[in-house]
Amino acid sequence: MLSKEQISANFAEGLRLMDEFPVGAAPAQKAARKIARTLEEMGIPYVVADGLAVHAHGHKRATVDVDLIMTKSDLAKFKERWLGLGWVEKFKGSKGLRDAEFDVKVDILTPDEIPGDGKVTPFHFPDPATVGTDVGGIWAGIKVLDLRTLIELKLASGLSSPHRPQDLADVIQLIRANKLPRDYATQLHEYTRAKYDELWGCAQVEEDS
């Protein structure tokens, strides 16, 4: 069990993030802008995924790290240029990075990987050059996953990794936030359609105010 001190610290951190996220001032948002700007300058295709992309597409929830999709070769270029100059590896040879300025983890996903448990999903993470969108506002200049791909990846992760219920909860909230129709499922990979239909039904249940 957590100590009272840890609970208190976590509570304070949660309140801080609730204040910082709406104005784009949270550490993860700052770290995302920083690495996005650097990748743009290097001409490296990327997209922001997972929690930050969910927030950008209308489900207002905080996250403490940055998830990017980029190719292994482009990641190698970035590391060769910037390791030790604002970013460090989580451990020697890891794909994951840490923004030393903002103390934020930067997790890298690559198009040769399979989402979810890495085994059963019948498709890979997408080519980052084909699925990015600039949603503007406080996210202007940052490429995030387009909504369809974000939902598809969240569904794939939830289907193959039951220990990650947050992914399916995110889909429910994205359906609500974007008022998506039931037949939106036809735009998704067939592997994910039945689960989308199930979660669409969940999203129609009105929450108690």
Length in residues, the chain: 209
More confident residue, 84 or 12: 84
Average of pLDDT values for 41-58? 95
Report which DSSP code applies to 131: S
For position 135, what pLDDT does the model report?
82
Query: Hey, what domains does the chain have and what are their CATH numbers?
Result: 4-203 (3.30.460.40)
Cβ atoms 145, 131 nearer than 8 A: yes
Q: Which residue has the tokens 């609730």?
A: 18
Q: Are strands 66-69 and 87-89 parallel, antiparallel or unpaired?
A: unpaired
**Which among 41, 38, 36, 40 is positioned nearest to 49, based on CA atoms?**
36
Mean pLDDT of the chain: 92
Average of pLDDT values for 22-36? 91
More confident residue, 76 or 17: 76
Average of pLDDT values for 47-73? 93
Average of pLDDT values for 108-129? 94
Q: Which residue has the tokens 């970035």?
A: 78
For position 209, what pLDDT does the model report?
58
Q: Which residue has the tokens 């050059």?
A: 129
Each residue's pLDDT tens digit, 120-145: 999 999 999 999 988 888 888 899 99
> Coil, helix or strand for 19?
helix
What is the reported pTM? 0.92
With a pLDDT cut of 70, the percent of the chain lying above it is: 99
Each residue's pLDDT tens digit, 136-184: 888 888 999 999 999 999 999 999 988 889 999 999 999 999 999 999 9
Q: Which residue has the tokens 């948002």?
A: 29
Tokens of 91: 């451990």
**Which among 157, 177, 168, 176 is positioned nearest to 196, based on CA atoms?**
168
Average of pLDDT values for 43-69? 93
- Confidence band (pLDDT; 50, 70, 90) for 208? low
Residue 77 reports pLDDT greater than 80:
yes
